[in-house]
Structure 1
Amino acid sequence: MLKRKTAQLAIAALLSVCGSVARAEEHPEALWLRYPAISPDGGRIAFSYAGQIWTVAALGGKASPLTGSPWHATHPVWSPDGQSIAFAADRHGQDDVFIAPAGGGAIARLTYHSANDRPMSFTPDGKEVVFSSARLGDPKADATNAVYGLSGLYQRPYAVSAMGGRPRQLLPTTALNLTYGPDGRILYEDDPSIVENTWRKHHVSDASHDIWLYDPNTNHHEEITGYRGEDRDPIWSADGSQVYWLSERGGNFNVWRKGLDQSEPEQVTFHERWPVRFLSSASDGTLAYAWNGALWRLDPDAAEPVRITVTISQGSLYDTTSIRDVTGEVTQMAIAPGGREIAFVARGEIFATGWDSKVTRRITDTVAQERDPAFSADGRRLVYASEGSGSWDIYETSMNDGDEVDRFSAPVALNERALVKDDADLFAPAYDPEGKRIAYLRNRTELRVQDLQTGTSLIAQAGDRTYSYNDGDLALEWSPDGQARDGHVVTRYPLARWTKPSILLQNAGSYSDGSVFPMLYKKKGVGKIVGDRTPGTGTAVSDVPQLQAGLRYRVPELGFQLNDGTWFENSEIEPDILIHNDPNLVAEGRDPQLEAAVKAMLEQLK
């Protein structure tokens, strides 16, 4: 039965995607152009758009495609003579490095590794393409990383012949956006090798990126920037005396520069609100970058950058009606009360389908992204976050009160309205059991509750009391009665709603989150703890690149405290029933700690 329903759901996820019937202008301006790279002579710019590599005159105009669909190509890089362009494409699954004539022609594959390979530059003589990759050059080390979920963290620079061949490791250290200067020295962006969102804004910590200078003749590395926020995308000035890069030290990502003599940084561009991305330069010092979806150019000695208008004349059959199986592209789902249907997110849109239905209905239809769907208790309302207004806000789609049909996937009229709009980003909405209030996250950490009848909003928990490590790592759930409990209107943790007897087993190996959980368990008075003392290691750590295959270590970066100021680290948790597992008894197949826990549980149940 389960297999049959799964198959039905897969069939139901065949979606009809309809394009606009309005006739577009003949050559509309293209926006959301990414990874611009200006040619060495400053005459043309290569960029990525709609999964293809294009080139356009540096003054703007009609762009020409270098690659074709349906594979995704990014990160174009010019050869020093401007005759070739290297780029990354997922033609064979993961990104590999390819090379093509700048004017178009036959494309050659240069790398064949299972890791993502992405070009950063050419060597000064143009004979090799330098690319970043998480390969470590040792199959055993690769396998070790995969076991610990660390594959993809250690981006080191490699070089491969532009004619093809076996790659060589350029540096043993991690390095991103590496570029050569006129004298052969190298600028690069360090990679702290942490699990972090690449596009996160306003990141300030010891794990942010900095710009470094490397001299191949002396093997000397020198840090150029020391800002505790983000510094990225280093490039050289025309004479090699200065470094330009992107920094958030002024609030938003903008272009900055400084001399290599450790002079004070100077801001070059002053774009507001949106970050500047993908900085590149020509041999004469002309800069090119992307901002707010468009390409921009800053000529040498010019006071202000100019916006480049790019047009695309290529037609696309994707603008017509098509059927697409998105079963493998579902990223989130929510189950309606009673399990009669589900809402799910695929390709940034929300859909609804019934378990026993072959019909899938599209709930949202926007150019923006939607996420975090949640049903009301009666199943007649659906709340979610949407980026349709430019920032993330909370929206609701509901059925008419008089309709007898109570399924979103049925042919029933639906009404959408904005519930909460704010200049901040709002996520993870959740109805209370009566459907009169919603809880949501403001800027990912501040917990708020909105009264849907009065429109008033209150802060249930301040943002500085919560830490979000990754986007979407916090979820909300109301207590069953929707009332305050232990001072909290909304709870994220099972501890605040678990009412049945329980016993917690712990031992000396309960470290990291294995020691954090027992501390909270004991502070909440949920139940008794049986076993050994915990070592008290409640810290967040980052992995340091392996010194050799199979050898790695971790460095603590963040400590945690309870509301009373107690640090998790070095706080041993004394069990209520102290039991050591005698190795002799374990060898006989016994588990004294488990036996003691069962005995204690039976006493609670009397």
Structure 2
Amino acid sequence: MKKILLIPFLFYSLFSFAQENTMLRTPSLNPDGTRISFSYQGDIWTVPASGGIARRLTIHESYESNPQWSPDGQQLVFQGKRYGNYDLYLIEASGNTPKRLTYHSTNDALPKWGADGQIYFTSRRAFVQLEWESEIHRIAQNGGTPQRTLDATALMPAPSPDGKFLAFVRGACRVSREAYKGSANRNIWLFNTANKKYTQLTTFEGQDIYPDWGGKKLFYLSAQNGRYNIFQQEIDASGMAKGNAVALTSFTDEGIRFFDVSADGSKIVFDRGTHLYLMDAKAGAKPKELKIEVTRDYHFDPIEHKTFSKSANNYALSPNEKQIAFIVHGELFVKPNDKEKKRAVQLSNHPYRDDEPAWLNDSTLLFVSDRNGNFDLFALQSSDKEQANLYKTFKLKIKQLTTDAADEEDILIAPNHKQIVFRRGRGQLVIADLLVDSIKGVSLQNERLLLDGWATPGGLSWSPDSRWLAYALEDLDFNEEIYIHGVEGNQKPINVSLHPRQDFDPVWSRDGTKLGFLSERNNGDSDVWFVWLRKSDWEKTKRDWEEEETPEKEKKHKGDKKDGDKKEKKKKAPIEIDFDDIQERIVQVTSMAGDEDDLMISKDGEHFYFTNDKDGSGNNTDLMSIKWDGTELKTLSPKIRL
């Protein structure tokens, strides 16, 4: 399978430009407020505080950010992923090869310099086996072994210039949840290094983050109006808040993402939107947008060639079983259903995601794509009248079938290829007729709503006669049940599982006698179950089944057809379902250790095929089969991945 990814850069050039949507991030002011460091393109840069031409200090394929100036302004500490996770690095402000300071397998981030020359940072090391939250550690600027600073979980450290206090944050809510209010919110705390006393400085029920000192004043971001703005709080000699915090900014449309204060507390730099701003550290001061010129170049080649021999997903077999459609990296491909023929043909080429291929016929594919802003249904056919085969044609046409503002996904074409069902939005289940015109192509007709609720139907499955749908749906206790829903008329869905534990992934047997599904109703792991659709089948004894001739035996009695005889095309007989007390006709097929998954049923309805993850690791999965009565358990292929 081959695919060429062409990233749309036409010129490989080196150029500079004034700041226009350049996303300069995590700025920091040097001690005297004359220079700014920041992160751009995952590298560390410096620039005069007045703006102008920036200088790149690092160039590496890893992402590097959060630079912080040393107290003497001669060095910068920053965080980078050069070895797979965030570590701290030290670099001269004039530029040199960065020195790695931390080596732990966890992330070390958000460094701040202390007056003692130590670098304080956020990590998860000592308490990781007991606590979810982070800890504060420190390390000498020359390196060495990091030491835990506090006996409490905390993050975002900010040591005061005189070394008396350590401001930090407590709380578990993500910083990105700007308007959050609740018990997981983040607050600013203060640790007195002399008397070891902890004091909570902010009590706002929302988010207070990123404390930073400017002289004897503490600054931080707070989302009191729903957006992050800079606040200033005076601290007395005992470490208590002196008066109320003062808001220095009052943005309401887009908040501040990060900021830094000069050592004397006179200047503030911050990033908001795609720009950097500088302002005086006082109420009423007007921020000034900085005009910064950066030179940029690509870290990697702008054109990348890749050959994929795996990572395909959402495959679909054509009705004649001669071709396979599948998705790789959001693009649609087709190849012959022959392991000796390796070449695949790319059918779609769009920067947005194409997914869920489904064959309407041997020359028409339906799929979903978010190329117009949300997921809609599309049809793909050959536009070459002389070559309808999608694998061979050089001319393709794609037609959009739906234009609703909500996403349409989980498409499933009926076995008779005359109807399609799909999910719209969160809980709408929509059915429509499929019309194929030689001139107009594919269109949807007679669209109607089968289901409209808050829960999302999952595991959609058509009955062989195209008259029924089975799916799993959560109730108000978030417990999934199996439903059968008639598609003709205004029939209501019928719950056929009726159990307080999870039932999901229904599968019809093609002989129309059983509806298989997976259930966690015994022992907490998923096993294979099924429900008898006809009461007469359920009432049969073991002897009845043993004495009943199978279609294969009848065929032997009548004699095989002669070579060359054409196969008779039998119309699918309507499936008979006895709904009275159907939940009483449920049968457990497997009870193995681990989870059963990927359920399928043989054509004659006699055998169930499934995978079994013995130990829950995902690395010890077997492909197995079993007869519907629990006998003839076999391992078809050990240790597979589906």
TM-score normalised over the length of structure 1:
0.63
- Specify which of 420, 439, 449 is matched with residue 423 of structure 2: 439
Structure 1 residues 400 and 497: CA distance shift in structure 2, 3 A: same
Structure with higher helix content: 1
1:376–1:72 distance in 2 versus 1, CA, 3 Å: same
1:130 is aligned, of 113, 120, 135, to 120
Q: How far apart, in 2, do the equivalents of 1:419 and 1:275 lie?
A: 37
What's the counterpart of residue 86 of structure 1? 77
Q: Check conservation: 2:112, 2:119, Cα contact below 8 A.
A: yes
CA contact (8 A) 2:14 2:296 kept: no
Q: Look up the match of 1:243.
A: 219
Query: Structure 1 residues 529, 340: CA separation in 2 closer, same or farther (over 3 Å shift)?
Result: closer
Q: Percent identity over the alignment?
A: 20
Q: C-alpha separation between the residues in 2 aligned to 1:357 and 1:49?
A: 42
Deviation at 1:202, TM superposition (A): 4.2
Instruction: Tell me how far 1:33 sits from its aligned partner.
Output: 2.3
Contact 2:39–2:66 (Cα < 8 Å) also in 1: yes
CA distance in 2, matches of 1:98, 1:337: 52
Indicate which of 316, 320, 325 corresponds to 1:341. Answer: 325
Question: What residue in structure 1 maps to residue 41 of structure 2?
Answer: 50
Which residue matches 1:413?
396
Cα distance, 1:290 vs. partner? 2.2
| Paired AA for residue 153 in structure 2 | T
Provide the residue aligned with 1:279 in structure 2: 259
Deviation at 1:264, TM superposition (A): 5.7
Secondary structure of 2:45 counterpart: strand
* 1:562 paired residue number: none
Shift of residue 272, structure 1, vs aligned partner:
4.6
Cα 1:26–1:166 change in 2 (3 A) is closer
Letter of the 1:169 counterpart = R
CA contact (8 A) 1:506 1:529 kept: no
Deviation string for 1:540-571 (max 9, x for gaps)? xxxxxxxxxxxxxxxxxxxxxxxxxxxxxxxx
Deviation at 1:254, TM superposition (A): 3.6
Give CA deviations for 1:15-48 in whole Å, capped at 9, x if unaligned: 3434134989752535122222232322222222
Residues 157/383 of structure 1: CA separation in 2 closer, same or farther (3 Å cut): same
Relative to total residues, which structure has the larger strand share, 1 or 2? 2
Partner of 2:305, secondary structure, is strand
Alignment-derived partner of residue 309 in structure 1: 291
Between the aligned partners of 1:87 and 1:171, the Cα distance in structure 2 is: 22
Q: Is the 8 A contact 1:252 1:273 kept in 2?
A: yes
**Contact 2:42–2:64 (8 Å) recurs in 1:** yes
> In structure 2, how many angstroms separate the alpha carbons of the residues matched to 1:421 and 1:318?
39
SS at match of 2:71: coil
Secondary structure of 1:495's counterpart equals strand
The corresponding residue for 2:188 is 211
Shift of the alpha carbon at 1:243?
3.4
Deviations 1:44-98 (A, max 9, x none): 2222222211222333332211111323222222212221111122222322211
Q: Indicate how the Cα distance of structure 1 residues 431 and 504 shifts in structure 2: closer, same or farther if over 3 A, else same.
A: closer
Q: After the TM superposition, which residues 162-311 of structure 1 pair with which residues of structure 2 at under 5 Å, given as runs?
A: 162-184=141-163, 185-192=165-172, 199-200=176-177, 202-236=179-213, 238-247=214-223, 249-258=224-233, 261=241, 267-283=247-263, 284-301=265-282, 302-311=284-293
| CA deviation after TM superposition for structure 1 residue 402, in Å | 4.2
Q: 1:382 is matched with which residue: 352, 364, 367?
A: 367
Deviations 1:215-260 (CA, angstroms, capped at 9, x unpaired): 2222222233334443322223x3434432142x423334345556
Corresponding residue for 1:5? none
Which residue of the partner structure matches residue 460 of structure 1?
452
Distance in 2 of aligned mates of 1:93 and 1:298 = 36
Residue 541 of structure 2 is matched in structure 1 by none
Match of 1:497 in 2: 506
Aligned residue type for 1:212: W
Q: How many angstroms apart in 2 are the aligned matches of 1:409 and 1:88?
A: 51
Higher mean C-alpha deviation, range 207-216 or range 449-458: 449-458
CA change 1:270–1:372 in 2 (3 A) is farther
Q: Identify which of 92, 96, 103 aligns with 2:87.
A: 96
Q: Report the CA distance shift for 1:243/1:460 in structure 2 as closer, same or farther (over 3 A).
A: farther
What residue number does 1:6 align with?
none
Where do 5+ consecutive residues of structure 1 fail to align? 1-8, 467-473, 515-522, 531-597
Q: 1:234, 1:246 within 8 Å by CA — same for their partners in 2?
A: no
One-letter identity of the residue aligned with 1:375: P
The 1:75–1:21 alpha-carbon spacing in structure 2 relative to 1, beyond 3 Å, is same
Q: Aligned partner of 2:5: which letter?
A: L
**1:33 alignment counterpart:** 24
* Change in CA separation of 1:406 and 1:48 when aligned onto 2, cut-off 3 Å: farther
Partner of 2:579: none
Instruction: Report the AA paired with residue 304 of structure 1.
Output: K
Question: 2:58 pairs with 63, 67, 87, which one?
Answer: 67
Looking at structure 1, the residues matched to 451 and 250 of structure 2 have their Cα atoms a distance apart, in angstroms, of 34
Q: Give the conservation status (yes or no) of the 8 Å contact 1:495–1:524.
A: no
TM-score normalised by L of structure 2: 0.60
> Secondary structure of the residue that 2:504 maps to in structure 1?
helix
Q: Which residue of 2 aligns with 1:161?
A: 140
